[in-house]
Amino acid sequence: MNFHEYQAKDLFAQYNIPIPRGQVARTPEEAVAAAESLECDMWVVKAQVHAGGRGKAGGVKLAKTLAEVKQYATDMLGMKIQTYQTGGLALPVNEVLITEAADIEQEIYLSLLVDRASKCLSFVASAEGGVEIEEVARTNPEKIHTIKIDNTEGLFPYACRKAGFAMGLNGKQVRQLTHIMMQMYQMFIDLDLSLIEVNPLIIDDQKNVVALDAKINSDDNADFRHPQLADLRDITQEDPAEAKAHEHDLNYIKLEGNIACMVNGAGLAMATMDVIKLKGGDPANFLDVGGGATAERVAIAFKIILSDPNVESILVNIFGGIVRCDLIADGIISAIKEVGVKVPIVVRLEGTNVEAGKKILDESGLAVIAADNLDDAANKAVAAVGAQS
């Protein structure tokens, strides 16, 4: 789950990570009131969306007067922002963050993430902050400093100090950086996060290290342990179909193809998409309905799939282990009748009571294309798209 910048900064404040003073506003009038309460000479008005690159899209403005604060807030609220990080979506701006403007002497990049290659958490730091870290890694890899954290021993202050001195910070700033990194690590562990990114972490005119920006992602699988974080979810920043799937505990990710997939099990879903590609087709989605593929869940899954206008055929690939194939077949039939599917549906069933399940589908009178195995199913799903063209 992603968080807005103001939400991430609220969490930073709870862990004593220094941030600029700021308030969130949902109307131009609230923006002016927030600016007045900060009692400073200049303000930054920042559109709150789940994406980087807001500045280039007009989502970050420096205001020198309260009139400019109001004008910028008016311009941003209600606008939609699309950047290289929005996955093709134009995200609505429902809130703006008003912060005091900072005098920046240096910008630093700092992040803490799950390093899957090393199977541990890792800090990534660079004195080249305020820009895309991928570009720094490509052009100046020697300026990237990585700190791998032992899963048993945790993070030690000396490792933070080493990174600070490597980036050219003085003794005072290294101590401040060490405090920030230790607190970031504690927050990461406490809240089951998957990413913390500060770009930029700045040195201000008082020579202090301050988190000017904040990006946090959490692990959805740990939501049950952190209801206070789950309550921060903003579904207006998500693909509507993915948001609906999350509401019903379905794992759905929209892709760019035209062959929809409905599968029970993440590994089987990945294999299904691979075979579709192998046969010359393009998957329209990843959809794992889970082990309990009931009629209700299958019906919801069909509705989510058909909300994508690019879908030209559907491949249902179900392995009946815990759930019997005959019950799955009943669910598929009920769902098709309820939803009114108008594109070809290829169904491959395997597992417990598979013959009974196939018989139910054969005798349903519905235009369901039966498949003997995954290879056969993929061939038929791809062929069905060709027949529709």
Residues 83 and 135 in one domain: no
Residues 131 and 182 in one domain: yes
Residues 64 and 209 in one domain: no
Residues 41 and 139 in one domain: no
| C-alpha 312: how far from chain center | 27
From 6, 72, 109, 252, active-site residue: 109
Element (H, E) at 318: strand 313-320
102 is in an annotated binding site: yes
**Are the beta carbons of 254 and 228 closer than 8 angstroms?**
no
2 is in an annotated binding site: no
Per-residue pLDDT band for 321 (boundaries 50, 70, 90) equals confident
Q: Which residues contact 384 (CB under 8 A, 6 or more apart)?
A: 312, 313, 343, 344, 346, 369
Task: Report the CATH number at residue 336.
Answer: 3.40.50.261
328 is in an annotated binding site: no
321 is in an annotated binding site: yes
213 is in an annotated binding site: yes
Residue after which a domain boundary falls, among 74, 101, 128:
101
**Are the beta carbons of 51 and 2 closer than 8 angstroms?**
no
Task: Report the CATH number at residue 95.
Answer: 3.30.1490.20
**Are the beta carbons of 251 and 297 closer than 8 angstroms?**
no
Residues 199 and 331 in one domain: no
Q: Name the residue with higher pLDDT: 44 or 367.
A: 44
Residue after which a domain boundary falls, among 237, 267, 288:
237
54 is in an annotated binding site: yes
107 is in an annotated binding site: yes
- Is 197 an active-site residue? yes
Least confident range of 50-54, 129-133, 270-274: 129-133
Q: What SS3 state is found at 236?
A: helix
Per-residue pLDDT band for 334 (boundaries 50, 70, 90) equals confident
Tell me how many domains the chain contains: 3
pLDDT at 2: 94
Per-residue pLDDT band for 86 (boundaries 50, 70, 90) equals confident
Domain that holds residue 253: 239-388
**Are the beta carbons of 223 and 246 closer than 8 angstroms?**
no
Question: Does residue 274 surpass a pLDDT of 90?
Answer: yes
Task: Report the CATH number at residue 121.
Answer: 3.30.470.20
Residues 38 and 1 in one domain: no
> Helix crossing, 240-247 with 295-306: angle to 10°?
170
Backbone dihedral angles phi then psi of residue 279, each to the nearest 5 degrees:
-90, 5
Residues 113 and 228 in one domain: yes
Least confident range of 99-113, 196-210, 340-354: 340-354
From 197, 238, 242, 350, active-site residue: 197
Residues 197 and 266 in one domain: no
Residues 111 and 172 in one domain: yes
Residues 268 and 377 in one domain: yes
264 is in an annotated binding site: yes
pLDDT at 244: 87
CA nearest neighbour of 351 among 378, 322, 376: 322
Residue after which a domain boundary falls, among 52, 77, 101:
101
pLDDT at 292: 64
Residues 137 and 157 in one domain: yes
The mean per-residue pLDDT over the stretch 140-158 comes to 94
Residues 15 and 150 in one domain: yes
46 is in an annotated binding site: yes
Per-residue pLDDT band for 293 (boundaries 50, 70, 90) equals low
